[in-house]
Structure 1
Amino acid sequence: MQVRSCALVLYHFPDVETQWDLYLAKTYSPEALRMKNFEEEQMPTEWFRDWLQQLA
């Protein structure tokens, strides 16, 4: 069962990365994207809850 869960997470990882890229593109101007330090930026936690529900 754990192997299946890991496989599902890896399968959906590109979706997570794409959603993050879209979020940043919609939230910040191109200038801000070039200048901003994103070390402190966090992905909305509700996204993870939604993804976990989809995986269940």
Structure 2
Amino acid sequence: MLKIGVIIGLLALALLATKYLDEKIQKKIFIGLAAIAAGAIVLFMGAELFR
């Protein structure tokens, strides 16, 4: 659970860093970060289920 919290925290910092970018680029980065977050959550949940 801590791993997921750290990943979400780092992704939130990345979103704050993109605040000053162009709106089109912000949207692309947001979609990419959401995909990374979803993938990380699925992987960690799967790892916990296999334990």
TM-score, with length taken from structure 1: 0.38
Question: Per chain length, whose mean CA-contact separation is higher, i.e. which structure has more relative contact order (CA < 8 Å, sep 6+)?
Answer: 1
Larger Rg: 1
TM-score, with length taken from structure 2: 0.40
Structure whose residues are more often helix by fraction: 2
